[in-house]
Amino acid sequence: MNVPAWAQKRADRLATGPHDRTVLVAYPQSRGVFAVPIIACIIAAVTNIGVLLALLIAARGSGVAGTRTTVLLITGIVVVTALFAAVAYLVATSFRTSVLATPRGVEIRQLGMRDSFVPWHQIARVEEQTHGYRTGAAVLALGSGKRIVIHATDSRRAKLYNGHSLREVHHRWLTAPMPWTQQLIDAHRAHLAGHV
């Protein structure tokens, strides 16, 4: 498996000893795809806010400052800025959505959940989500009964950011776990067997 630079840096931070630095599973494999929406968002935000500010300056220069037009322009600037702040937040949290498995356990970072680290001994099994919006995603079934669906292994995300082709996924559908789920299953089995 190709170990992404972000995964190795994160594994080094999580490590408590030299053998803990090994990366068993890391998704996404590439974060380069995130550059496109981030750049597009920045360009659109700067353009829209710049146009609104130019209109505001033109309104003040023409002597209609304090009129209804100025109030509407200021409201527009505030609304557009808030909208782009929300989009930037979603893009940033999507950028950091990831799963990292090391010999100590699995770290999960995703929207709607605090960053969490689950040691292998707390994981009863790793399975695949078989229904709903996140069908195909890996699920950590904990000994406590809690199930954690790992968004970084969602089939749409995995195809786009993890380099799996549609053909590869289509041929496995309903006959075997998805490749990203199988890697986590194999890592969990290796832990149970004492190999990691």
pLDDT of residue 45: 78
- What's the average model confidence in pLDDT over 155-181? 66
Q: Which residues contact 182 (CB under 8 A, 6 or more apart)?
A: 176
pLDDT at 28: 81
pLDDT at 68 exceeding the cut of 80? no
What single-letter DSSP state applies at residue 19?
A: G
Given a cut of 70, whether residue 1 has pLDDT beyond it is no
Supply the mean pLDDT for the chain.
80
Q: What is the mean pLDDT of residues 47-74?
A: 72
Residues 6+ apart with CB under 8 A from 151: 97, 110, 111, 134, 137, 157
- The larger pLDDT score, comparing residue 127 to residue 134, is at 127
- 14 has pLDDT over 90: no
C-alpha dist (Å) from residue 33 to 65, 151, 157, 163, 179: 44, 17, 11, 11, 20
pLDDT at 130 over 70: yes
Sheet of 123-128: strand order equals 123-128, 138-142, 147-149
Least confident of 62-76, 82-96, 133-147: 62-76
Judge if the upstream peptide bond of residue 4 is cis by omega within 30 degrees of 0.
no
Q: Read off the tokens for 7.
A: 């995964």
Higher pLDDT among residues 120 and 172, named by residue:
120
Asked if residue 112 has pLDDT above 60, the reply is yes
Mean pLDDT, rounded, for 45-54? 79
pLDDT digits (tens, 9 = 90+) for 173-189: 566 777 778 889 999 99
- Of 7-11, 76-80, 150-154, least confident by mean pLDDT is 76-80
